[in-house]
């Protein structure tokens, strides 16, 4: 879902410290909440303070999205904030030569994670003796400059071509997915090759200096990774045991094709012309940037408000929102990272950014696995086969039956059998509990009888501990024999009734009558002898 918003506070710059700017943000300890000023509190899914390392941001925000791509889910992550708030640094498209391994941004870490995951899946399939999955990775790098979609992988593009109208077209497929026509697509085979493509594209990106940022991004950049995977259908895809047996017994491996696209969006910063001091082309760029961000904000507001979502979402107001249409309100797991400045002179810009991100949390996308039609049909057929096998098993066991009127129904005997089984289980539990109660009562009765015998001996003056123990053992044995006798008498009574019923049935059919054994019945019908101790 898009309802995952995180907020990152960059450290104060040296220039801000020299100019005496105060920190106006405070992160609640142990809570994903940031307080701006004295009383403006905002809660997000994650909040990263000024001392947070890049790996923590990647682990919480992006790691699970890459894992989702391997299962066929689209993903998008974009950074939003005012100019100079650290978006390019967070995304990792700055490519500073002095940057360390621990300061790598989201995109380099995601690329390494992606190719590491591919290698792990290939190795696991080889070790388990299964067909090795095939992967194909493509990359695209687009720039939105003054409402024109430009291709950063186009090596022929120069400054003069920048002023000309772009030939790149944005289209929507039957399923609501957005795709572009006329964009250079590069097939990539390794993480190093992917990073080289990203670096070359980032160096072609439009940047310029303003009073707020020495190297300000003057365009929105969208780096897209397309992942196509062909793998053996996993039996875990369906929880039906019958389906699993069918898949295991089949000698022919069934393959499925999964596709996923991952957008990394580095938005240009919102800016005020008064503070940036922009004039001429810089001012025109700033106005275009703000128009795109305004359209993005309107789309987020419309998607977050359920009453407006059913009417109209203005995706076509900007090419930025049109490109991100299926990421914002479609089939994608999307994360928004709001980058803010902690200085009090940026108070209003920071407040607007926090409100912007807070609205994004209200959007909920319904994500679906991207399978080709053949894989979808195979999955549907496997499910249908499992259902039919289960139905056939119900006919064989008598659970289902066809009535005289030709209507299918559930056999009443099955219901009755289920009820009897439930009752039988309940009775077993009760019998077990009653047996434990009988044992406890028998032990208590033995103890009481032995105490009475000891008291009688003590009154007679012949009390002895050994005699008392012997009497207790005798009484215990007598009680056990008495209980067995009761049980045998009940069994005998039951047998006598069965014999009597059988003899009656035989006499009705003219056969020889069976007589009950009188000796045994005479023995069991004798009254119990009185206890000699009492």
Retrieve residue 103's tokens.
Answer: 């300061």
- Average pLDDT value for residue range 256-267: 89
Bin 84: left if φ > 0, else alpha if -120 < ψ < 50, else beta.
left
Q: What is the band of 521 on the pLDDT scale with cuts at 50, 70, 90?
A: very low
pLDDT band for position 112 (cuts 50, 70, 90)? very high
The mean per-residue pLDDT over the stretch 105-125 comes to: 93
**In b/e form, how buried is each residue of 199-208, taking b as 16+ CB within 10 angstroms?**
eebbebbbbe
DSSP 262-292: EEEEEPPPB--HHHHT--THHHHHHHHHHHH
What does the alpha-carbon distance between residue 381 and residue 390 come to, in Å, rounded to a whole number? Answer: 14
Contact 121, 308 (CB under 8 A): no
What single DSSP character describes residue 221?
E
CA distance linking residue 267 with residue 290, whole number of Å: 11
Q: Which contacts qualify for 283-290: CB closer than 8 Å, 24 or more apart?
A: 284/146, 285/145, 285/146, 285/206, 285/208, 285/218, 285/219, 288/145, 288/146, 288/147, 289/218, 289/219, 289/220
What is the per-residue pLDDT for 533? 45
DSSP run (H or E) holding 327? helix 325-328
Phi, psi of 311 (to 5 degrees): -95, -70
**Phi-psi category of residue 81: left, alpha or beta, with phi > 0 → left and psi -120 to 50 → alpha:** left
Instruction: Report whether 27 contacts 49 (CB < 8 A).
Output: yes
**Which ranges in 43-175 belong to alpha helices (H)?**
54-61, 63-69, 87-91, 106-127, 159-162
118 pLDDT band (50/70/90 cuts)? very high
| pLDDT exceeds cutoff 80 at 120 | yes
Between 41 and 307, name the one with better pLDDT: 41
Mean pLDDT over residues 237-251, rounded? Answer: 45
The encoded tokens of residue 159 equal 């400054």
Quick one: pLDDT band at residue 194, thresholds 50, 70, 90?
A: very high
- pLDDT at position 260, please? 92
Cβ atoms < 10 Å from Cβ of 178: 18
Among 4-13, 94-103, 154-163, whose mean pLDDT is lowest? 154-163
Q: How far apart are CA 139 and CA 262, in angstroms?
A: 10
Cα 341–Cα 343–Cα 348 angle in degrees, nearest 5: 75
pLDDT band at 123 (very low <50, low <70, confident <90, very high): very high
In this model, does residue 114 exceed pLDDT 90? yes
Q: Which of 174-188, 212-226, 268-282 has the lowest mean pLDDT?
A: 268-282
Give the mean pLDDT of 295-322. 80
CB 7 within 8 A of CB 31: no
Helix 106-127 vs helix 54-61: angle between axes, to the nearest 10 degrees? 60
Between 103 and 223, where is the model more confident?
A: 223
pLDDT in tens, 312-368: 888 888 888 999 888 887 778 888 898 988 988 888 888 988 888 888 877 777 788
- Contact call for residues 1 and 365 (beta carbons, < 8 A): yes
User: Three-state SS for 182?
Assistant: coil
Least confident of 156-165, 317-326, 392-401: 156-165
Looking at residues 415-427, what average pLDDT do you find?
A: 83
Looking at residue 245, what is its pLDDT?
43
- pLDDT for the residue 501: 77
How many angstroms from the chain centroid is the CA of residue 24? Answer: 37
Question: Given a cut of 90, is residue 139 above it in pLDDT?
Answer: yes
Residue 31 has a pLDDT of 86
Confidence bin at 519 (pLDDT 50/70/90): very low
Q: Which of 200, 225, 256, 198 is nearest to 114 (CA)?
A: 225
3-state secondary structure of 40: strand
Give the model's pLDDT for residue 238: 45
Mean pLDDT of the region 445-469: 72
Q: Is 250's pLDDT higher than 80?
A: no
Q: At 187, is the pLDDT very low, low, confident or very high (cuts 50, 70, 90)? A: very high
Q: What is the pLDDT at residue 189? A: 92
Rounded to whole angstroms, the Cα distance separating 502 from 154 reads 99
Q: Provide the CA 371 distance to its chain's centre, in angstroms.
A: 19
Residue 403 has pLDDT above 70, yes or no: no
Interacting residues of 95 by C-beta distance below 8 A, sequence separation 6+: 199, 202, 203
Binding residues: 81-88
Average pLDDT, the chain: 78
Where are the strands (E) in 272-407, listed by range?
A: 333-340, 400-402
Report the binding-site residues for ATP. Answer: 81-88
Higher pLDDT, 412 or 295: 295
Q: Convert the pLDDT of each residue in 495-511 to its tens digit.
A: 888 788 777 766 665 55
For residues 284 and 194, the model is more confident at 194
Residue 237: pLDDT band (50, 70, 90) is: very low
| Number of helices (H), then strands (E), in the chain | 18, 18
Specify the pairing of strand 46-48 against strand 4-9: parallel
What whole-number distance in Å separates Cα of residue 502 and Cα of residue 515? 10
> How far is the C-alpha of 358 from the C-alpha of 471, rounded, in Å?
84
């Amino acid at each position: 879902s898009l309802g995952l918003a995180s907020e990152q506070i960059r450290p104060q710059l040296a220039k801000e410290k020299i100019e005496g700017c105060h920190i106006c943000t405070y992160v609640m300890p142990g809570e994903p909440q940031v307080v701006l000023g004295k009383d403006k509190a905002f809660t997000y899914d994650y909040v990263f303070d000024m001392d947070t390392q890049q790996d923590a941001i990647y682990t919480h925000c992006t790691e699970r999205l890459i894992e989702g791509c391997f299962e066929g889910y689209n993903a998008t992550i974009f950074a939003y904030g005012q100019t100079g708030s650290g978006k390019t640094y967070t995304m990792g498209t700055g490519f500073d030569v002095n940057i360390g391994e621990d300061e790598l941004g989201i995109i380099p870490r995601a690329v390494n994670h992606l190719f590491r995951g591919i290698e792990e899946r290939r190795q696991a399939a080889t070790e388990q003796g299964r067909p090795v999955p095939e992967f194909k990775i493509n990359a695209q790098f687009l720039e939105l400059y003054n409402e024109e979609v430009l291709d950063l992988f186009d090596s022929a593009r120069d400054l003069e071509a920048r002023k000309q109208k772009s030939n790149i077209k944005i289209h929507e497929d039957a399923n609501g997915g957005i795709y572009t026509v006329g964009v250079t697509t590069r097939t990539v085979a390794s993480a190093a090759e992917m990073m080289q493509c990203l670096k070359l594209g980032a160096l072609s990106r439009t940047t310029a200096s303003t009073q707020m940022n020495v190297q300000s991004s003057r365009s929105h950049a969208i780096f897209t990774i397309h992942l196509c995977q062909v793998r053996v259908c996993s039996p875990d895809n369906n929880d039906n045991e019958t389906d699993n047996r069918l898949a295991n017994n089949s000698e022919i491996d069934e393959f499925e094709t999964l596709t996923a696209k991952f957008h990394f969006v580095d938005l240009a910063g919102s800016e005020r012309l008064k503070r940036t001091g922009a004039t001429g082309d810089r001012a025109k760029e700033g106005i275009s940037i703000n128009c795109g961000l305004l359209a993005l904000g309107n789309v987020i507001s419309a998607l977050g408000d359920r009453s407006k979502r059913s009417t109209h979402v203005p995706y076509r107001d900007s090419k930025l929102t049109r490109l991100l249409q299926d990421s914002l309100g479609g089939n994608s797991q999307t994360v928004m990272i709001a980058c803010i400045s902690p200085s009090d002179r940026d108070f209003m810009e920071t407040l607007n950014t926090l409100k912007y991100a807070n609205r994004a949390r209200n959007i909920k996308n319904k994500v679906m696995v991207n399978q080709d039609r053949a894989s979808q049909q195979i999955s549907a057929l496997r499910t249908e086969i499992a259902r039919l096998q289960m139905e056939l098993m119900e006919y064989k066991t008598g659970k289902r039956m066809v009535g005289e009127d030709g209507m299918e129904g559930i056999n009443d005997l099955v219901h009755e059998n289920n009820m009897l089984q439930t009752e039988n289980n309940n009775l077993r539990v009760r019998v077990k509990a009653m047996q434990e109660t009988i044992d406890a009562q028998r032990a208590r009765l033995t103890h009481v009888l032995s105490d009475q015998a000891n008291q009688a001996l003590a009154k007679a003056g012949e009390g002895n501990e050994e005699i008392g123990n012997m009497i207790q053992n005798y009484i215990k044995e007598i009680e056990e024999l008495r209980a067995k006798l009761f049980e045998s008498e009940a069994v005998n009574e039951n047998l006598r009734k069965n014999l009597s019923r059988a003899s009656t049935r035989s006499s009705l059919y003219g056969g020889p009558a069976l007589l009950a054994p009188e000796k045994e019945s005479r023995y069991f019908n004798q009254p119990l002898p009185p206890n000699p101790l009492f």
